Amino acid sequence: MSGKLDKAKGFKKSKPGTYLSIGTSLFGAVSVLKQVKKARVENDKLMLVDAAISAAAIVTGVALLVRELRRLGDDDVLLG
């Protein structure tokens, strides 16, 4: 059982695992965009601020994941 758990932990630090994490983070951006639209329609500034903070968290998270990809030695043309 321990071997499977170690393998799952290793996947998170692998290139495919990191790509999956980036995709999951970007999928969260869809929710933030919906929140922004709703905040604008309702003219709710507090909800708009919440959406902006959530968006900043997503951007930061994706930037950290991209940095992790670079550390893993990914030679993808898109990452430079």
Work out the angle between the directed axes of helices 45-71 and 15-42 (0-180°, nearest 10): 170
CB 48 within 8 A of CB 36: yes
**Residue extents of the structural domains in the chain:** 2-72
pTM, two decimals, is: 0.69
Residues 13 and 36: their CA atoms lie apart, in Å, by 32
Please report the pLDDT score of residue 14 as a whole number. 81
Q: What is the mean pLDDT of residues 56-70?
A: 93
Quick: pLDDT tens for 2-59.
666 565 566 666 888 888 989 999 899 999 999 999 999 999 999 999 999 999 999 9
